[in-house]
Chains A and B, each alone.
Chain A
C-alpha cells in the first residue's frame, strides 16, 4: 500500500505549525509518530492535502518534573516515557503501561500525544491518565487551554481537540500515589483495562474498547470508605451494578457477556493490586 501525494511541512516553531493549521485546518493532519495516521492513510480511510510534522518543534519531547506535576511533552515516545527515570520513579504505572503498548517498533515511533489525539477505542493510556487526574494542554493561534483527561475523548476516534489545535503537553499530578493499571488482554489487545489511584481519594476508570474511559463513582465511594479491606463480594456486586448501566457491544474481540465479565475481573484485579495482595496484572 502506498500513500497518495500530499504537501509536507516540517515547522521548527509551534507558532508556524499553528499558522499552518489556521489556513489549512480541514485538509491538514498533524503528524507525530505516524503509527496510526499513516496506517489510516495507507488503507485509504483518510486523505489529507497537507501533513504537518511536529518532530522539529522544540520542547514537545521534554519530560520533566515540575514541582508536584509530571510534564510530558506530546511528542514523547512510549519508549522514552517507559524508560524515563522521572516517570519510573514518580509514576511507575505509566512507565509500565507505555512499555507494554504495541511492540518495540510502535513504542519507538508512537507518541503519547498522538495516542490521545487518535483516540483508538482500545487504547489504554486514556484510561490511566483519566484515573491519574491528568490534564492535556492544547495550543492554537488563539492561545492555550487545559482539558482534563477525563473529558478529552468523547467517542471512539473523537476528541475535543479542534482542527486548529495542537496537543502540546500532558500534565500528571504527582499527589496521586500508588496508581495501578491492570490490562486484561489477548494477543496484546486490551479487552478491559482498569486503572485505580488510591490517594488522596480513590479514582477508578475502566476501559472496555469503547473509547471513553468509564468512571465508576459508586465503586469509588465504596473503596474510599473501606480500603484497604473492602469486602470483595460486596465490591463485586457494586461493580456489576455500575457496569450493567453501560452499553457493551459484541465485537470481534469479545462477546458482550464475556466482555462484561472481563470488566469486572479487571477492576477486581486492580483493587487487589492496589491493596498489595497477590495477583497478576495481565492474562
Chain B
C-alpha cells in the first residue's frame, strides 16, 4: 500500500446543524459522530456498536436517518443535520420525547436518542404508520432494556394525536 504516514487533508464543512449555520474546517478522516459530539457538543449522539448495526448514533441528515458512526463529517457539507438537541424548541419537548416520558419508554436511555431520531424520520415519511410499519422501521434500532413494547406504544401515542 502506501509508504509512511499520510498527511491528512482538511475539509470545510458548512452545514445547518440543529437550526444553526456552522462552518468548520476538520481533518478529512473525522467521523460525523465525533464532529457532532466534540465540535458541536451534541452529546445525545451515542457511540455504541460503532458499526452501524444498533442505531444508537442515528442522526438526521436532510431528514434522513444515518449512522453517524460510519459516515464522514465531510458528507454533511451543504446539508441540514438534526440531533435530539435540535428537537427542543423554547423549552418545549418534541411530541416524541413527551410520549417517551409518558410511556416510560426508556430505562438506561442510551438507545433513546437514536430511537427518537429514527421515529422522527419515520413519521415524516409516514405520518400514520401501523404497528407493523413501526416495527419494521425500527428494526434497525436495538434496545436492551425496555423490550420495545413501550417504545411502540409511545410512537402510537404520537400518531394518534
Say which residue of B8, B31, B50 sits within 8 Å of A6 (CB atoms). Answer: B8
Which residue on A lies nearest to B121, using beta carbons? Answer: A104
A8–B9 touching, CB < 8 Å: yes
B29–A4 touching, CB < 8 Å: yes
B28–A6 touching, CB < 8 Å: yes
A79–B64 touching, CB < 8 Å: yes
Contacts between chains A and B (CB distance < 8 A), count: 99
Task: Name B's interface SS.
Answer: mixed
A49–B29 touching, CB < 8 Å: no
Most buried by B among A1, A38, A49, A102: A38
In the complex, chain A residues whose CB is within 8 Å of the CB of B5: 5
Task: Name A's interface SS.
Answer: loop
B70–A34 touching, CB < 8 Å: yes
B140–A102 touching, CB < 8 Å: yes
A7–B8 touching, CB < 8 Å: yes
Q: Is A42 an interface residue (CB 8 A)?
A: yes
A27–B70 touching, CB < 8 Å: no
Q: Is A275 an interface residue (CB 8 A)?
A: no
A16 to chain B, nearest CB (A): 15
A106–B140 touching, CB < 8 Å: yes
Which residue on A lies nearest to B28, using beta carbons? Answer: A8
Within 8 A of A (CB), among B66-87: 66-67, 70-72, 74-75
Q: List 27 A-B contacts (CB under 8 A).
A: A2-B34, A3-B31, A5-B27, A6-B6, A6-B9, A8-B29, A10-B74, A27-B1, A38-B31, A38-B70, A39-B51, A42-B50, A42-B51, A48-B1, A49-B2, A49-B6, A51-B28, A79-B64, A102-B140, A103-B139, A104-B118, A105-B65, A108-B61, A108-B66, A109-B66, A109-B67, A188-B139
Residues of B within 8 A of A (CB): 1-2, 5-9, 11, 27-31, 34, 50-53, 55, 58, 61, 64-67, 70-72, 74-75, 118, 121-122, 137, 139-141
